[in-house]
Amino acid sequence: IALPAAGPTNRFLSIRGEAVHILNENREPTTDQPLRHDGNVRDAQFSPDGQRVVTAGVDNSARIWDASSGLALTPPLRHGGPV
């Protein structure tokens, strides 16, 4: 699944099982490592300004990532069930 970015950034999010890849307009990865969960990712979205990515997974967590570096900005935000 490739989801378009918000705004004029021309980036996309690709969900593949437990990983999310941030892709450029040529569909090439923009970070060294994918954004990872401990279970399949259900959804991923850019923030309105395109600076962050939020991911939600069946591992009962949501994550917030820096869209430029791919580094986690928060620890996993745990929930009582799939997010």
pTM of the model: 0.87
- Convert the pLDDT of each residue in 8-52 to its tens digit: 578 899 999 999 999 998 889 999 999 999 999 999 999 988 899
pLDDT of 81 reads: 74
- Convert the pLDDT of each residue in 62-77 to its tens digit: 999 999 999 999 999 9
Q: How far is CA 71 from the centre of its chain?
A: 10
Helices (H), 1-83: none
